[in-house]
Amino acid sequence: MDTTRMTWEDIKRAYPDEWVLLVDVDADPSIPRVRGGKVAGHSKSRKEVLASTWLPPGSGWALKYTGRPTGADLLPGQGHR
């Protein structure tokens, strides 16, 4: 785990087109909006980053994708509904 707290802009640059799991999250909880945090895990796979990162019960975390989402294949098959 990278113990350095990073801004969201820095995280996007350091881990392009990856899923990142953040802890010690700096967020405005009212909207909410993530401003940064510590990268506890990162992967090209959402399932992998969630499965491989241990989080203590009761903790707050964030799961974010640093790339651009695509609507072409939202569901595991093709098409949306």
Partner 1 sequence: MIDVPFDPTEELIRIEARITGPLGHADVDLVLDTGASVTLITFDTLDKLGYSARDGDSISVITTAIGRESGYLLRLQELRTLGHAFTDVRVHAHDLAETSGIDGLLGLDVLRHFNYEIRSKEGLIRVGLA
Beta bridge partners of 38: 5, 23
Distance of closest approach, residue 8 Cβ to partner 1, in angstroms: 11
Distance of closest approach, residue 9 Cβ to partner 1, in angstroms: 13
- Interface pattern 2-21 for partner 1 (x via CB under 8 A): --------------------
Q: Side chain identity at 49, as an amino acid letter? A: V
Task: Kindly identify the residues of this chain, within the stretch 24-63, that bind partner 1 according to CB under 8 A.
Answer: 25, 27, 29-34, 44-47, 50-51, 55, 57-63
CB 15 within 8 A of CB 44: no
Please tell me the distance from the alpha carbon of residue 81 to that of residue 74, in angstroms, as a whole number.
10
- Give the pair of three-digit tokens for residue 21: 């799991």
Interface contacts to partner 1, rule CB under 8 A: 22, 25, 27, 29-34, 44-47, 50-51, 55, 57-65, 67-81
